[in-house]
Amino acid sequence: MAARPFRCGGLWLFLFSSVAVALIYDPQQVLYNVNTNQTATDPLDYWGIWENHTFNPSPSNWRMPMYTLMLDRFANGDPTNDDANGTQYEHDLTQTQLRHGGDISGLQDSLDYLQGMGIKALYIAGSPHINQPWESDGYSPLDLTLLDHHFGTIQQWQDAIAEIHSRGMYVVMDNTMSTMGDLIGFQGYLNTSTPFNRFEHNALWKTDRRYLDFDFGNNELDSCEYPRFYGDDGNQVLNLTSELVGCRDSEFDQYGEIAAFGNYPEWQRQISKFAFVQDRLREWRPDVRAKIEHFACMTLGMLDLDGYRMDKGLMLTLDAVGNWSSSIRTCAKTLGKENFYISGEIVAGNAFGSDYIGRGRTPANYVENVTQAVTMTNASENDKYFIRDVGQNAFDGAAFHYTVYRFLSRLLGYVVDPSFHT
Ligand SMILES: *[C@@H]1O[C@H](CO)[C@@H](O)[C@H](O)[C@H]1NC(C)=O
Ligand SMILES: *[C@@H]1O[C@H](CO)[C@@H](O)[C@H](O)[C@H]1NC(C)=O
Ligand SMILES: *[C@@H]1O[C@H](CO)[C@@H](O)[C@H](O)[C@H]1NC(C)=O
Ligand SMILES: *[C@@H]1O[C@H](CO)[C@@H](O)[C@H](O)[C@H]1NC(C)=O
Ligand SMILES: *[C@@H]1O[C@H](CO)[C@@H](O)[C@H](O)[C@H]1NC(C)=O
Ligand SMILES: *[C@@H]1O[C@H](CO)[C@@H](O)[C@H](O)[C@H]1NC(C)=O
Ligand SMILES: *[C@@H]1O[C@H](CO)[C@@H](O)[C@H](O)[C@H]1NC(C)=O
Ligand SMILES: *[C@@H]1O[C@H](CO)[C@@H](O)[C@H](O)[C@H]1NC(C)=O
């Protein structure tokens, strides 16, 4: 799910140039806003929780049959929300790009079918948060506290999830962490792709639509604390200290854009706008991460989620993922979820992927002695074998791992171009 079709050109943005969606409490959005704090104006004061509800405890072991589905393409349980935005450009069953009308009520109606197959966990692909009217996949959220009207109200989500849980099944929901929609452009490059620039570009809003909880900034800071970066070979990239010094005082990365496919150094991929259409929050900045974590915790608590699957996992800076996961597991524990599951999309080979699994391991952490390797526990000489401390576990597992994907493609007789690398 790393790649998404490039279907939002300038024409679309022109057509939908005015939007007033409030993240702060707004009576008009009360059915969809996971923030129910009527007085909060600071995003960190937003709050919402499924009230008077007994939260579903985690399973002790997540090895179970899991079913993946795209909500919009699955089953239409509530036709009244198909044109929730009231435009000509959202619901059309006859083509592949617009919405087909699937929603959370349709999923609820289908639970006999899914449970009958022996499915124990549902991974609902795409974030539940609001996207542009025509964007059915959910991967370009515009607001991390507002649910997309096309998928259902908070009540409908809660009804469906309560029934899923009552059947002994679990719900894992996608999370894009720092990937947002396409509201920000770079000065001088509005009609063309923006090259990578380590000094960053001046950003501007493409239309009068805004992210209400995040802003860019064009002021230059002389020095910035950059995160640790790792390369495709799994090793830390150490020669960037002269490359990356100052930065813009911004909640978004403004270094330019990269294509969805093609070979780029991983660190550039992690701080660029993805596929020219997805703005990237600067999740390595602690104040930005605090908001992302807070919103993910609220969504979890409002919908009683059992796990998150991190989209484009390796395009998130590594230590920020460890921090985020640690924070979300703590949040889940306050709801009695002791084994909240966090998987990530591993769009790379095994070496780089290993940095993100658990506490992370580079090639230098390789265990030569097989007996020691298979008898290793979490108490084994920690620093020697892992790159992050206890508790800073990033992903528990992979969902989708491209090594598996490439292997399956070959098995099915399809030769993948070696340059295919998202
Ligand atoms: C539909 O979306 C447009 C822009 O995305 C927004 O201005 C408008 O308020 C929305 N209308 C409804 C009914 O949600
Ligand atoms: C709601 O917002 C107010 C600030 O207006 C804050 O003092 C309060 O702690 C918030 N409530 C919750 C439950 O976070
Ligand atoms: C939760 O329960 C309390 C006490 O019974 C009640 O006042 C409140 O309205 C309930 N909240 C919801 C959302 O049902
Ligand atoms: C982009 O290109 C269009 C069509 O060539 C032109 O009308 C418009 O002024 C250009 N916009 C910018 C910001 O360069
Ligand atoms: C860092 O090292 C890599 C691999 O040797 C090289 O490709 C890259 O150009 C170097 N970058 C800088 C900024 O020196
Ligand atoms: C974030 O991650 C880094 C690297 O693992 C760690 O040193 C730091 O303590 C973490 N910060 C928080 C707030 O968890
Ligand atoms: C491998 O580790 C085991 C257990 O620590 C040890 O008994 C054995 O001698 C080691 N083998 C080698 C070749 O070092
Ligand atoms: C190792 O795992 C056990 C069992 O899950 C846990 O109780 C213990 O705290 C862990 N120790 C460390 C150092 O992570």
Q: Encode pLDDT of 178-205 as tens digits.
A: 999 999 999 999 999 999 999 999 999 9
Strands 170-175 and 184-186: unpaired
Using the Cα atoms of residue 92, residue 93, residue 97 and residue 99 in order, give the sign of their dihedral.
positive
pLDDT at 10 > cutoff 50: no
Instruction: Report which protein residue has its CA nearest ligand 3's atom 7.
Output: 52
Atom 10, ligand 8: which residue's CA is nearest?
A: 378
Identify the residue whose C-alpha is closest to ligand 1 atom 13: 85
Q: Where are the beta strands (DSSP E) in 18-154?
A: 66-70, 121-125
Distance CA 353, CA 356 (A): 6
Where does residue 118 fall: left (phi above 0), alpha (psi -120 to 50 degrees), or beta otherwise?
left
The model's confidence at residue 110, banded by pLDDT at 50, 70 and 90, is very high
Summarize the confidence of residues 328-336 as an average pLDDT. 98
CA–centroid distance, 11 to ligand 4, in Å, is 11
Task: Mark out the alpha helices in 50-187 (DSSP H runs).
Answer: 71-74, 104-109, 111-116, 154-166
| Most ligand 1 atoms within 8 A of CB, residue of 19, 83, 142, 207 to mutate | 19
The residue whose two tokens read 């830390």 is 236
> What is d(CA 115, CA 167) in angstroms, rounded to the nearest whole number?
8
H helix intervals, 1-142: 10-15, 71-74, 104-109, 111-116
Starting from the CA of residue 189, give the closest ligand. Answer: 4
How many whole angstroms separate alpha carbon 310 and alpha carbon 343?
6
**Whole-number Å distance between alpha carbons of 401 and 422:** 12
Q: Could you identify the atom of ligand 3 that is nearest to the CA of residue 52?
A: 1
User: Helix, strand, coil proportions of the chain in percent (round to 5)?
Assistant: 25, 15, 60
Nearest ligand to the CA atom of 24: 2
pLDDT in tens, 31-89: 999 999 999 999 999 999 999 999 999 999 999 999 999 999 999 999 999 999 999 99
Sign of CA dihedral 188, 191, 192, 197: positive
Distance (Å, rounded) from C-alpha 75 to C-alpha 160? Answer: 13
Instruction: Indicate the SS3 state at residue 417.
Output: coil
Its pTM stands at: 0.91
Q: Is 171 in contact with 306 (CB distance < 8 Å)?
A: yes
| Residues framing ligand 2 (Cβ under 6 A) | 37, 39-40, 45, 47
Nearest CA to ligand 6 atom 12: 323
Shortest-distance atom of ligand 6 to CA 388:
5
287, burial (CB in 10 Å: exposed 0-12, middle 13-18, buried 19+): exposed
Q: What is the predicted pLDDT for the residue at 19? A: 38
- What is the tens place of the pLDDT at every residue in 362-419? 999 988 899 988 988 877 766 789 999 999 999 999 998 877 777 787 788 766 665 5
Please state which of the four CATH numbers 3.30.460.10, 3.20.20.80, 3.40.50.970, 3.30.70.2200 is assigned to the domain occupying 61-358+393-422. Answer: 3.20.20.80
Confidence band for 18, pLDDT divided at 50, 70 and 90: very low
Q: How far is the CA of 293 from the centre of ligand 1 (A)?
A: 27
CB atoms under 10 Å from CB of 210, counted, come to: 16
319 Cβ inside 6 Å of ligand 6: yes
Q: Indicate the top mutation candidate among 13, 14, 191 to test ligand 4's pocket, ranked by most ligand atoms within 8 A of CB.
A: 191
Candidates 378, 382, 383, 392: which one to mutate for ligand 8, based on the most atoms within 8 Å of Cβ?
Answer: 378
* Cα 372 to averaged position of ligand 7 atoms, centre (Å): 7
In angstroms, the CA 53 to CA 167 distance is 16
pLDDT at 326 over 90: yes
Pocket of ligand 7 (CB under 6 A): 369, 371-372
CA 256 and chain centroid, separation: 20
* Residue 29, token pair as written in the block: 């959005």
Q: Is the pLDDT of residue 1 over 70?
A: no
- Probe target for ligand 1 pocket from 11, 12, 16, with the most ligand atoms within 8 Å of CB: 16
Residue 13 has pLDDT above 70, yes or no: no
